[in-house]
Chains A and B, each alone.
Chain A
Amino acid sequence: MTPERRAFLGWGAAAAAGAALAPGLRLVELALARSPEEASSALERWGLLIDAEKCADCDACVTACHQENGVTAHGRPATDAQWIRKASLRDRSTGRVQTLPLLCQHCEHAPCVDVCPTGASFRRADGIVLVDKHTCIGCRYCVMACPFGARSFLHEPVTGQKPDVPRGKGTVESCTLCVHRVDRGLTPACVEACNRDGKGAMAFGDLNDAAGELARRLRAEPSSALRADLALNPGVRYQHL
């Protein structure tokens, strides 16, 4: 390597370090507020950290979610829409039972997005996985592809929707991470309810914001992804499973 080339590479490395630092500084401002005319950005990645040990025998998150999003039941559990549910995990050898909230995991490599034939299932720049019901044809490939059973199909006509949460017969839906609230700078309804009425088992935040509370906890404390063998890199992570 000639001295000129070495010097050039040295300057290049210094420039790269500077560039990496600059977005890190901007992230903080971005996490604080996004104006309505600003598009969601890949600089953010919204996620949840759920502590299964703190999760008690309550369903505050489920009630709050379904109220916020106007998800009503018809009294037919087999086909009623379900955006979040309390799942029980039982250790076969010891018999220990744990309950935890199970919802769309907002995967980076989402199987539902992969299989969608119309592009209705998509991942927003900030990592939130959504269904564009304008293009959903109701084929339900995504329902079958999701390893977490997080998606529901609407079999019956819907009335009395919330203005922010359109829902209609013949389309698939799932947790939106309360995208209409997140866009206003609020936390999802389940997290708010868990911290208000529950045991504070759920935390919401930006996984990319190195200075943020969520990223700090993920760095410092052990956590795991559900079905880590599939390498989907979900935005929802669990502790004490």
Chain B
Amino acid sequence: MTRIAAGLVAALLAIAGFADTGPRQPGRVPLPVVKIEKGEACVAPVAEMRRDHMKMLFHQRDRTMREGVRTTRFSLKNCIECHASAKTGSVLGEEGFCSSCHAYASVKIDCFECHTPMRQARTAGALR
């Protein structure tokens, strides 16, 4: 009996030890898929982008809509250009750059109610 109890304790300790030292487990919620297939670097450092990308988009949105300023650096179109999946051409879907992270953080994303989530098909002779 004592031998069985000791064995159980040893097994539990082994599992706990493995869990501590092993790679981070996602638990019940799958980790977001951050797969960037295009572009060398983002328009700002990653930490800043993770925290403040919505502020950049919000600011640019009003400048473009209200004043007609059409710089591409912080434009949604520019985001989609690099971050759309090569497979689907979209930032939404199972492995979509925007949707998978927003699903993980449980933050509703409104942009694509109106904006297209698809990368722009480049046609010969098209401007920009």
Please give the number of chain A residues whose Cβ is less than 8 angstroms from any Cβ of chain B in the complex: 30
CA distance A137 to B37 in the complex (A): 37
Residues of A within 8 A of B61 (CB): 134
A124 within 8 A of B: yes
- B114 near A184 with CB under 8 A, answer no
Shortest distance from the beta carbon of B116 to any chain A beta carbon, whole Å: 4
Residues of B within 8 A of A109 (CB): none
Residues of A within 8 A of B63 (CB): 39
Residues of A within 8 A of B118 (CB): 163
Residues of B within 8 A of A133 (CB): 114
Chain B residue at minimum C-beta to C-beta distance from A132: B65
CA distance A40 to B63 in the complex (A): 10
Which of B2-10, B38-46, B66-74 is the interface stretch?
A: B66-74
Contact residues of B between 42 and 80, Cβ < 8 Å to A: 61-63, 65-72, 77, 80
**A39-B67 contact given A163-B77, A163-B120, A184-B128, CB 8 Å threshold:** yes
CA distance A6 to B41 in the complex (A): 66
B: which residues have CB within 8 A of A? 61-63, 65-72, 77, 80, 113-116, 118, 120, 127-128
A-B contact pairs, 20 of them (CB 8 A): A34-B68, A36-B69, A36-B70, A37-B71, A38-B69, A39-B67, A124-B66, A126-B68, A130-B65, A134-B62, A134-B65, A162-B116, A163-B118, A164-B77, A167-B114, A168-B114, A171-B114, A179-B68, A184-B70, A184-B128
